[in-house]
Chains A and B, each alone.
Chain A
Amino acid sequence: MTAPENGGAAKRPGARPLDFRHGRVDLSHGSGGRAMAQLIEELFERSFDNPYLAQRNDQAAFAVDAGRMVMTTDGFVISPLFFPGGDIGSLAVHGTLNDVAMAGARPTYLAAGFVIEEGFPLGDLRAIVQSMAAAARDAGVPVVTGDTKVVEKGKGDGVFITTTGVGVVPDGVAPSADRARPGDAILVSGTMGDHGVAVMSKRENLTFETEILSDSAALHGLVADLVAAVPDVHVLRDPTRGGLAAVLNEIALQSGVGMTVRERDIPVKAAVNGACELLGLDPLYVANEGKLVAMCAAADAEPLLAALRGHPLGEDAAIIGTVTEDPHHFVQMETALGGTRIVDWLAGEQLPRIC
């Protein structure tokens, strides 16, 4: 695939540059006029800096590889916008890259849509866009097209971002939530609950001190290593909203199986455990943004674990349980105490707006 030549759009003469120190977004920034063109040029184009965007079309054109493609889209409405270990910008890139990667795919392009509330500080917007651009650059996946809308004050909450991603799946790789089979091993790539606790710690009404950072990260490199080692991985999922518990229950239902996991084998940081204890939360239900759950044939479990642990984002990976035959599709857990309980679907909401 070749990128288009940069057309080098002409600069508008005489315009004062955007005031990122004191300026705020107003309705003109979304109106389609000069102010919008200036915002796109001085912020979005400059930050994302790629030849597709520089062509200033309402779409990006690119060649495609032969084979299967995947496509996904995700809206990000997190509060607060900046949290320990990340912000809505990096999260919007990582979240969508991870959804592409969970098909076993290599992500190729991203698109981004912004809904910005009137009055939002331009400096904060720049910080978010630059963080997003850095995340995309680190991942090697360009944001090739986008959209900006401004809504009246009170009709939004700072900024909402929607990202769309496409990617290419290698031949012979087809993980899917309906492919878990009795006897399969269940693995996680690292500690559970970091993101949700990091975000909670910065809530306006709930501030507490914690050293926990969000685990927000792009997982396609880890997935590439994983599918190279075990192409026939049956299931890949990132346990975001609802945490590990939600993902295991969804897969159990979609595959028509049950599951048994061992509490003592599920990695949870001591600080996350402590925060959850104080807040009355269960780390198994708390969101992650840089972890995956994998299921594979028992014989593939050790090679898959080795592949995960061989990558910097999978150092704490563990085999946590087994897929079982169960007409009720229960996810059961052997507790550290030595008893058994269900890990149920989440009822109601445990945490509001964490992604």
Chain B
Amino acid sequence: MKYIEEFRDGRLGANLAAALARDADGGRTYHLMEFCGGHTHAIFRYGVLDLLPANVRMVHGPGCPVCVLPIGRLNMAIHLAREDGVILCTYADMMRVPGADGESLLKARADGADVRMVYSSLDAIRIAEDNPDRQVVFFAIGFETTTPPTAIALKTAVAKGLTNFSVFCNHVLTPAALVGILESPEVQDGETVSLDGFVGPAHVSAVIGTKAYEFCPERYGRPVVISGFEPLDVMQSILMLVRQLNEGRCEVENEYTRVVSREGNRKAQDLMDEVFETRDSFEWRGLGAMPDSALKLRETFADLDAEVRFRLPERTIDDHKACECADVLRGVKRPTDCKVFGTACTPDTPLGSCMVSSEGACAAYYTFGRFRDQQATA
């Protein structure tokens, strides 16, 4: 496969590091939030921090689908999985996220629930076709990247007349999360969390386009550079942000031009619009309840809505008392600021969602970067 090594090239990385060292103004600190867990993962997996000047600080954002799903919604899924005759299809990352009362999908499966890991929403359709006497529920999570595939699955189910397929919809909207961050008291007070700009979403932006972020410089005075998920993409985007800030510019720029346009993918947008509508309000882990921040199935697809079909009661459940995922997701705390990081909470025994997904800041930090603290204290 071409174009894997090319975007991880050490020589180009050194060139970008030199440019950053040259351009970053030693008289100030740059606080940049990488919105997506994909960026966080790349930063730690490839050791990008080693190539940044000390005064360029990365703040980890909330763009990890597994991380922002609140426990209440997870427990609804676990409840569904334990219903007689149900096959719950889920993306693998959700399996290990701890719910309330010591529950998880993995535990439900060990107890006999039929929980299947799928790579694609269409795998769930196939499972529904293969099991006509079972109720197959697709546990749909994620930002705008995973939403069009769910829409396709729903339309496919309608076209095939599958009456045993439904979707438990938890799709959320990226711009709403950005607003949530920018409106949070810790950013608004101008002290607790400093945010000078955003490394903007990659795959999400392929769907919604760069224009979806234009409110960010206009209303909140923060520049955004849309960035690919490869380490050189991330470094190039950081350089573009540093240059905007140095020059006093504040705009949406696009580093990821090989994939992202200003308008985005109109076909995918139309598909989403046909199948989904915004919820009045949706609970996020870390960001709380936010208006117009998530999607539900439109009335025309209500027959395929698992929340309707199974009369799922909405539940709100507080995070584990010791877990500080909520603060980590808002950039208020770094993973290592959490009291249980690396002790009670590890990837093997996670207490919070940020330690589960490979896109979670705590998991990325623990798995790839924890030698940094040991060196600092050694």
Contact = CB atoms under 8 A, between A and B. Distances in A.
A332 B17 contact: no
Interface-central residue, A264, A273, A327, A340, by most chain B CB under 10 Å: A340
Contacts of A340: 47, 50, 371
Interface string B67-86: 00000000000000000000
A338 B47 contact: yes
A277 interface: yes
Given A277-B4, A330-B371, A341 B119 contact: no
B338 interface: no
A205 B49 CA distance: 37
Interface stretch (A29-37, A122-130, A342-350): A342-350
Interface-central residue, A270, A279, A344, by most chain B CB under 10 Å: A344
A338 B96 contact: no
B371 A332 contact: yes
Interface in A192-213: 205-206
Contacts of A336: 5, 8-10, 46
Interface in A268-301: 270-271, 273-274, 277-280
Contacts of B378: 327
Given A274-B4, A337-B8, A341-B47, A205 B371 contact: no
B119 A206 contact: yes
Interface string B308-333: 00000000000000000000000000
What interface size band does chain B fall in?
35 or more
Interface-central residue, A334, A336, A339, by most chain B CB under 10 Å: A339
A341 B371 CA distance: 8
A273 B5 CA distance: 9
Contacts of A341: 44-47, 368-369
Interface-central residue, A334, A337, A340, A348, by most chain B CB under 10 Å: A337
Interface residues of A, number: 27
A335 interface: yes
A190 to B, nearest CB: 19
A338 B47 CA distance: 7
A344 B368 contact: yes
A321 to B, nearest CB: 15
Contacts of A337: 8-10, 13, 46-48, 51, 231-232
A342 B119 contact: no
A338 B50 contact: yes
Contacts of B370: 342
Contacts of A334: 47
Nearest to A339: B47
Contacts of B119: 205-206, 279
A339 B347 contact: no
A332 B369 CA distance: 9
Contacts, number: 84
A11 interface: no
Contacts of A339: 13, 46-51
B367 A335 contact: no
A274 B5 CA distance: 10
B51 A347 contact: no
A328 B119 CA distance: 36
A126 to B, nearest CB: 30
Interface in B259-275: none
A226 B374 CA distance: 37
Interface in B1-30: 1, 4-5, 8-10, 13-14, 17
Contact of B368 (A271, A277, A328, A342): A342
A92 B364 CA distance: 36
Nearest to B49: A339
Contacts of B369: 341-342
Contacts of B47: 334-335, 337-341
Contact of A277 (B1, B50, B366): B1
B4 A338 contact: no
Contacts of B14: 338
Given A270-B1, A341-B368, A347-B347, A264 B45 contact: no
A57 to B, nearest CB: 42
Contacts of A270: 1
Contacts of B366: 344
A334 B13 CA distance: 13
A52 to B, nearest CB: 43
B118 interface: yes
B376 to A, nearest CB: 12
Contact of A280 (B13, B358, B363): B358
B348 interface: yes
B123 interface: yes
A336 B50 CA distance: 12
Interface string B21-57: 0000000000000000000000011111111000000
Interface in A313-338: 327-328, 330, 332, 334-338
A270 B6 CA distance: 12
A118 B367 CA distance: 44
A338 B51 contact: yes
A271 B2 CA distance: 10
A206 B368 CA distance: 28
A48 B254 CA distance: 65
A274 B46 contact: no
A339 B9 CA distance: 11
A51 B370 CA distance: 57
B202 to A, nearest CB: 15
27 contacts: A205-B118, A205-B123, A264-B10, A271-B1, A273-B1, A273-B4, A278-B1, A279-B119, A280-B358, A335-B45, A336-B5, A336-B46, A337-B10, A337-B46, A337-B51, A338-B47, A340-B371, A341-B45, A341-B47, A342-B367, A342-B368, A342-B369, A342-B370, A344-B366, A344-B367, A344-B368, A348-B348
Given A274-B1, A334-B47, A336-B5, 9 more contacts: A273-B5, A277-B4, A327-B378, A336-B8, A336-B9, A337-B47, A339-B47, A344-B347, A348-B347
Interface of A: 205-206, 264, 270-271, 273-274, 277-280, 327-328, 330, 332, 334-342, 344, 347-348
